[in-house]
Amino acid sequence: MKNPEAFELPENLLNKFAKAKKLEWITIGYLISTIILMYLVMGSSQAMKTAWLEDAMGLIPAISFLIASRIAYKKPNLKFPYGYHRVFSIAYLAGAVALFAMGCFLLIDSATSLLKAEHPTIGTIILFGKQTWLGWIMILALIWASLPAVIIGHKKLPLAKKLHNKILYTDADTQKADYTTAFAAMLGITGVAFGFWWADSAAALFISFSVLKDGYTNLKTAILDLMDRHPVHVDNQKNDDLVEDIKAKVNSWDWVKEADVRFREQGQVYFGEVFIVPNHGADITHEIENALKILEDYNWKIYQVSIMPVKSLSEK
C-alpha cells in the first residue's frame, strides 16, 4: 500500500497546484472588483442585473476550490479512513446546485420582465465632472467584467487539465466564455440606446440560458462522478484510457492468467480494484506486493489500488 500520508500530487504538479491557487485568489479579487463596479452602474437594466448575478456566481467555484484544497490533502484518520479526496467532488456538486438554481431564477426573472414589457429607465451620471448617459458607463463596466476574465480563464485551463480538477476546469471554462454573456449585455444596452426597450430583457434572457446551461452540465457531471462512473477526462468527458491501459498491463504479466479492473474518481485521483486469476504455481503474496508498487508508480492519478486474487472472473 502506498503510504497514505504521501501527498496526493507528484513533485512536478505541486507547483502547478500552487499556481492554480494563486490564480484563484486573483480571480476572487478581480471578481469582487467587478461585482462592486457592476452594482454601482447597474441601474434598472435587467441585462446588467443578470450579468451581475452571473459574475457573483463566479465566486463560488473559486472559493470552493480554495476551501477544498485546504481539506483534500489531510491525512486519512480513523474517522475518514479513505482520506479527504472526495471533498473536491462535493464542493463541485454544491457549486453546480447553486448555479443551476440561480439559472432557473434568472430565467424566470428575465422572462417575466420581457413579458411585462418592462422599459428600462437609464438616466445620467456625473463622472469626472462630465454628464454621461449611464448606459455607456455600463458598457465600460462590462468590458472590465469580460476581457480580464477571458485571460484568467485561459491561464487556468491547462492547469486544470493537468491537475485533473473539475472545479478548476469548470471555473476556467466558464470564465473563458464569459465574453459571450458580457457581449450580450452590451448589445442589450446598445439596443436600449437605440430605443429598443426589449433588447435589455432579451439580452438578460440569453444570459440566463447560458447560466442555466452551465448549471445543468455541471450538475450532471457532479452527480455522475459521485455515482462512481468510469473515470473521464475533465475537458471532453470521454473515458480516461488509463483504466484500460492498466487492465492491459496487468493482463500482460506472466503470473496472471486473466484480470479485470475497476476504478472510480475521488476528486482529483482514482481509487480502484484489480481482480486477478493467477497462473498455477505463482507466488501470489509476493507478486501482489510487487504489482501494487508497479501500479501506484504507474500514474499519479492511480492513488489507491487493492488487488484481489480470485479463482475466476465474474461475468459483468
Partner 1 sequence: MKNKAAGLTSLLISILLLFTSCNLPKDPKSSWENAKKEGLRVGVIDNPPFTNTTSESFSGTEMEIINNFAASKNLEVSYLKGNESYLIEKLEKFEIDLVIGGFTKKTVWSKKAGVSKPYDKKHVFLVPKGENKLLVKLEEYIHQNLEYEKS
- Contact with partner 1 (CB under 8 A) among 192, 250, 261, 295: 192
**What's the chain's length in residues?**
316
Least CB distance to partner 1 at residue 169 (A): 19
Residue 154 and residue 144: Cα distance in Å, rounded? 16
Q: What are the phi and psi torsion angles at 132 (to 5°)?
A: -130, 150
- Contact with partner 1 (CB under 8 A) among 13, 96, 186, 256: 186
C-beta neighbour count of 177 within 10 angstroms:
15
Assigned C-alpha cell, 292: 501494487
- Contact with partner 1 (CB under 8 A) among 66, 111, 140, 177: 140
Rank residues 171 and 200 by Cβ distance to partner 1 and give the closer one. 200
* 127 forms part of the interface with partner 1 (CB under 8 A): no
E strands, the chain, in order: 124-127, 130-133, 256-266, 269-278, 302-309
* 187 forms part of the interface with partner 1 (CB under 8 A): no
* 151 forms part of the interface with partner 1 (CB under 8 A): yes
34: CB partners within 8 A, 6+ apart? 55, 141, 144, 145, 149
**Helix (H) or strand (E) segment spanning residue 194:** none
Site string for partner 1, 41-80 (x = CB under 8 A): ---x------------------------------------
* 143 forms part of the interface with partner 1 (CB under 8 A): yes
Assigned C-alpha cell, 265: 474518481
Residues that bind partner 1 in the complex, under the rule CB under 8 A:
44, 118-124, 126, 131-133, 135-136, 139-140, 143, 147-148, 150-151, 154, 186, 190, 192-197
